Chains A and B, each alone.
Chain A
């Protein structure tokens, strides 16, 4: 079975541009998470979806960040406008249906550099 698939793997953009990161969770998983990893802050949970519905978006830094999950097999994280401090690796993770146990399956990550 394929793992969590993220695209793009690397993105370099200029400040002010819109960035869209994509994620396809593992088939059959109904929980999806977006994390951001930086040297300074480590792993931060940005948003959590369950059955395509955002459950916890308290980690979304500010209004420039938005996330959607239009169906069970696809999610996007958008940054508009992007800023240099948004440079990080963004991970998508999914977990199985049923009780949320904390066992996550991570994608390869999208490394974002904002110049």
Chain B
């Protein structure tokens, strides 16, 4: 079965520190990849997505992610975090196998706390 693994459940950083959140998925075919963010008390919002093309994708608020097909990874990065980045981050994957319904699979999420 398809699965998405997020390596860190909780991350605590100081402002201006660099961030990297790991995400690995199990499916070997063509996939679309996403990072969603959920700020405290709010709904999930799309942070960035990868469908095809340049494996380094840039999203909102200075976030970027790199798709490494050989490693089945889609890690999220930000060079310098801010207090306002405190949120929960979800990696999500959907296989693009044609001919049927494909389910978007979410990882368990990583809670990021940024201290001033």
Contacts and interface: CB of A to CB of B under 8 A. Distances in A.
Contacts of B45: 106
Interface in B31-60: 32, 34, 42-46, 49, 51
A98 interface: no
Contact of A102 (B32, B43, B90): B32
Interface in B55-96: 90, 92-94
Contacts of B49: 102-103
A104 B51 CA distance: 14
Contact of B104 (A50, A104, A107): A104
A107 B51 contact: no
Given A101-B32, A102-B94, A103-B49, A45 B103 contact: yes
Given A91-B44, A106-B45, A101 B90 contact: no
Nearest to A104: B104
Nearest to B107: A42
A115 interface: no
A103 B46 contact: yes
B101 A42 contact: no
A69 to B, nearest CB: 16
Nearest to A107: B43
A106 B43 contact: yes
B50 to A, nearest CB: 10
B102 A100 contact: yes
B106 A42 contact: yes
Given A106-B44, A108-B43, A56 B101 contact: yes
A106 to B, nearest CB: 4
Interface of B: 32, 34, 42-46, 49, 51, 90, 92-94, 101-104, 106-109
26 contacts: A42-B107, A42-B109, A43-B44, A45-B103, A48-B103, A55-B101, A56-B103, A91-B43, A91-B44, A100-B94, A100-B101, A100-B102, A101-B32, A101-B51, A102-B34, A102-B93, A102-B94, A102-B102, A102-B104, A103-B46, A104-B44, A104-B104, A106-B44, A107-B43, A108-B43, A109-B43
